[in-house]
Structure 1
Amino acid sequence: MGWTEFILAMVAFMVSHMVPSRPALRGALVARLGRAGYGAAYGLLSLLLLAWVIFAAGRAPFVPLWDQATWMRWLVNLVMPVVVLLACLAAGAPNPLSFGGRAEGFDPARPGVAGLVRHPLLWALLLWSGAHLVANGDLAHVILFGLFAVFAALGMRAIDGRNRRLWGAARWQALTTGTSNMPFAGNWRGWRPAWWRVLLAVVIWAALWHLHEPVIGVSPLP
């Protein structure tokens, strides 16, 4: 049952994350639940499915591929504050170019977090999964974090391609001129993120640090 549960959890998580990239389905859910209701429901579902995937990977048969070194733990600890900050800066911010953002209030001349990187939530997922992939050398976790990394990388290309088709080349160019898929390559200089988003990131990172061992069962300390 270990591998069966793990596969089911992964499929459920991946399928659920196709919803934001399907405008018709997302629009129908927003119309029924409201924007705030959709955001809350989708966020809760994502967290529950993510927790299921992580615990299912821990219950899968252990097949070692490489040993963990101390520097691998340091890598995770250095990357995680960046991951949490990116997620807090991106969630609900004006950014129609990627999921997790909103169209209202977006100014291509001052793209905000999209000027830092066009797909901040996907970059957060890529950094999180990449660092944890290095630090967890058993088969189930390599599959788990490897698929997340591939999902994030391909998701950027897929969303860009979809938006270019929907908007047309001229509008796409106008909206994305100050952004880039590479961090710090867009128009981010002079942008000042909201203080409460930075404070929220600090609180969430501290909570993750302290809850990692009692919840996940592994200490984050190097």
Structure 2
Amino acid sequence: MVTSSALYIASAAFFALHLLPSTPARPRALAMVGEGVYTAIFSILSVILLWLLAREFNAADYGAKLWLLPAWWLWIKAFLILFAYVLIFAGVLTPNPSSPGSANSLENPDIANGIFAITRHPVMWGVAIWALTHMISQSTWRGFAFFGSFAATALIGSWLQQRRKRASVPGWADFEARTSFFPFLALIENRAALRLKSIAWGPVAVAVIAWGAVLHYHGWIFGTPALR
């Protein structure tokens, strides 16, 4: 295992920081410094740690691949990345009960019938699918450390966030009852209905355009072709 220890440290620090909002430390910090200062400090630290994480990832030895992938994986990878982009853009561009200051979106009686019928955390699952797909493709300890920190942060952070939402957001419990954490589970259990009229197609179109652009320019931006 030749990956630099600095990459593991940066990954752990990034993960730990982003678990903070889901712990009792968040309300204590808010009480001490106020929401504005807390948000500013958290944002600055997030940017610094993201920069450090990317720097150590680029500096680390690539290392040997732990497995080789069949040619058809490229098609699965492309589809999963597209699905991840749809979740991310739809979750960001649609009023999202999980976002700060968006609890009033729960007043919409159809809130659970659009993108949230797939999962109540579309943005975090989108990030996790993107990260896990890259982990599989990289198949190195370097890739595990970098992309694994994003996947763990997204999934564990959103899972822990739910406890705080239940205690502080009116209507969240009903939203949970009509949706699922794991993608498609509420649909399988008939607790949700994916209605096409409830889906915001604008964000889906943006996701498809962004996906195509990244596929085309990935090699130029990141130095390696996307479908590799």
TM-score class normalised by the smaller sequence: 0.7 to 0.9
TM-score by length of 2: 0.73
Between the aligned partners of 2:96 and 2:10, the Cα distance in structure 1 is 29
The answer to whether residue 135 in structure 2 is matched with residue 133 in structure 1 is yes
1:146-161 matches, within 5 Å, as 146-161=148-163
> Structure 1 205/145 Cα, relative in aligned 2: closer, same or farther at 3 Å?
same
| Alpha-carbon distance between aligned partners in 2 of 1:206 and 1:48, rounded to the nearest angstrom | 29
> Which AA in structure 2 matches 1:64?
A
Measured at CA, do residues 88 and 172 of structure 1 come closer, stay the same or move farther in structure 2, by a change above 3 Å? closer
Structure 2 equivalent of residue 87 of structure 1: 88
User: Which residue in 2 is equivalent to 1:53?
Assistant: 53
Compared with structure 1, are the counterparts of its residues 182 and 7 closer, same or farther at alpha carbon in structure 2 (3 Å cutoff)? closer
Change (3 A) 1:109 1:177: farther
Taking only the aligned residue pairs, the percentage that are identical comes to 26
> 1:195 and 2:201 equivalent?
yes
The alignment's C-alpha RMSD in Å is 3.4
Letter of the 2:64 partner, please give it. Answer: P
Give the gaps of 5 or more residues in structure 2: 187-191
What does residue 123 of structure 1 align with?
125
Distance (whole Å) between structure 2 residues aligned to residue 95 and residue 136 of structure 1: 32
Residue 11 of structure 1 deviates from its aligned partner by 4.2
Structure 2 matches for 1:1-222, cutoff 5 A?
A: 3-18=4-19, 21=22, 22=26, 31=36, 50=50, 53-69=53-69, 70-96=71-97, 98-99=98-99, 102-107=102-107, 109-111=109-111, 112-167=114-169, 171-184=171-184, 185=186, 186-222=192-228
Could you tell me whether the CA contact under 8 Å between 1:84 and 1:205 is conserved in 2?
yes
Contact 1:126–1:148 (CA under 8 A) maintained in structure 2: yes
Say if 1:104 and 1:173 are closer, same or farther in 2 by CA, change over 3 A: closer
Q: State the distance in 2 between where 1:128 and 1:50 align.
A: 16
TM-score (norm 1): 0.75
Letter in 2 for 1:152: A
> Which stretch shifts more, 144-153 or 154-163?
144-153
Tell me how far apart the structure 1 counterparts of residues 49 and 101 of structure 2 sit (CA, whole Å). 21
Structure 1 unmatched runs, 5+: none
In 1, are the aligned partners of 2:89 and 2:203 still within 8 Å (CA)? yes
Does the CA-based 8 Å contact 2:115-2:122 persist in structure 1?
A: yes
| Paired amino acid for 1:66 | L
Task: Quote the offset at 1:19 in angstroms.
Answer: 6.0
- CA shift, 1:62, in A, is 2.9
Distance between the aligned counterparts of 1:149 and 1:162, measured in 2?
Answer: 21
User: Is contact 1:92–1:102 with CA below 8 Å preserved after alignment?
Assistant: no
**Alpha-carbon distance between aligned partners in 2 of 1:207 and 1:25, rounded to the nearest angstrom:** 40
- For residue 135 of structure 1, report the CA deviation from its aligned partner: 0.9
**Take 1:68 and 1:161, find their aligned partners in 2: how far apart are those partners?**
40
More contact order relative to length (CA 8 Å, sep ≥ 6): 2
- Mapped partners of 1:26, 1:117: distance in 2: 29
2:15, 2:149 within 8 Å by CA — same for their partners in 1?
no
